[in-house]
Amino acid sequence: MEENMEEGQTQKGCFECCIKCLGGIPYASLIATILLYAGVALFCGCGHEALSGTVTILQSYFEVVRGPLDTLDVFTMIDIFKYVIYGVAAAFFVYGILLMVEGFFTTGAIRDLYGDFKITTCGRCVSAWFIMLTYIFMLAWLGVTAFTSLPVFMYFNIWNMCQNTTAIEGVKMCLDLRQFGVVTISEEKKLCTETEKFLKMCDSNELDLTFHLFVCALAGAGAAVIAMVHYLMVLSANWAYVKDACRMQKYEDIKSKEEQELHDIHSTRSKERLNAYT
């Protein structure tokens, strides 16, 4: 009988511990972090492969040749974009961890508002700094989203030309890379619909795959923007809660101090009356 009671108390203690641990998880920050990681992974992975597919299309069908190492051509720009993607993936992986840690500490501060936990000025400054930094990153991701829409628009035009050429016979259209700024004005890299290379490009998997990869990269950038907005809402709410908690702590300290002073005055008067009576 006693063993059953001890087992029941142990299970109850484990259940209460689990409930307490689950209650301390910052679910809003967790959702924003998952969305951020998913968006960054989608943007970086699909963007990297889409750039590699673009290099293949330029070299195979448009016959664009890579220039010397000291020249800034389209291939050099693509290599730079790939290195930027590596940096973005590493930076936002670390930033997501930092925001999750900040969410855990802020949640603990709110949970322990009436306990021994004291909210410091440094903690409020860190929260305000994260708000400002997240706002800057949100604007940056908006710019990345707008920039990623450019290759999507370009590939959509090429895909549309392929569809029109297949559907309507006798239509002659040409695709000139100078229109997109891929090559210089002096270079003529034109691909018309009547040529065999254009038909091969339309039938190849590289064009369709690269187009859809850029669309997925655009979706990932949009998801990162939504994650940044979500983080801004979470951080602003946490900062407001922390600020209100700090004011509440100051009020409680002043109130307890006044009560202690009143208690001391009352004790002093009682002692004086007792001495006067004796």
Can you give the pTM of this predicted structure? Answer: 0.78
- List the pLDDT tens digit at each of the 278 positions of the chain: 445 555 555 556 666 666 666 666 778 888 999 999 999 999 999 999 999 999 999 888 888 887 776 677 888 899 999 999 999 999 999 999 998 888 877 765 555 544 444 455 666 777 888 999 999 999 999 999 999 999 999 899 888 888 777 555 666 778 878 777 777 777 777 788 778 888 888 888 889 999 999 999 999 999 999 999 999 998 888 777 776 666 666 656 676 776 776 666 766 666 666 666 66
Query: How many residues does this entry show for the chain?
Result: 278
Domain ranges of the chain: 28-246
CB atoms within 10 A of CB 233: 11
d(CA 105, CA 112): 10
Q: How far apart are CA 68 and CA 75, in angstroms?
A: 10
Q: Quote the tokens at residue 174.
A: 């040409």
CA distance 234 to 35: 14
Provide the CB-side half-sphere exposure for 275 (13 A, CA). 6
- In three-state secondary structure terms, 191 is strand
C-alpha 85/C-alpha 45 separation (Å) is 9
Model pLDDT for residues 154-204, shown as the tens digit of each residue: 899 888 888 777 555 666 778 878 777 777 777 777 788 778 888 888 888
Query: Minimal CA–CA distance to 54: which of 266, 213, 264, 183?
Result: 213
Cβ-count burial of 56 within 10 angstroms (0-12 exposed, 13-18 middle, 19+ buried)?
middle
Distance CA(145)–CA(139), nearest Å, equals 10
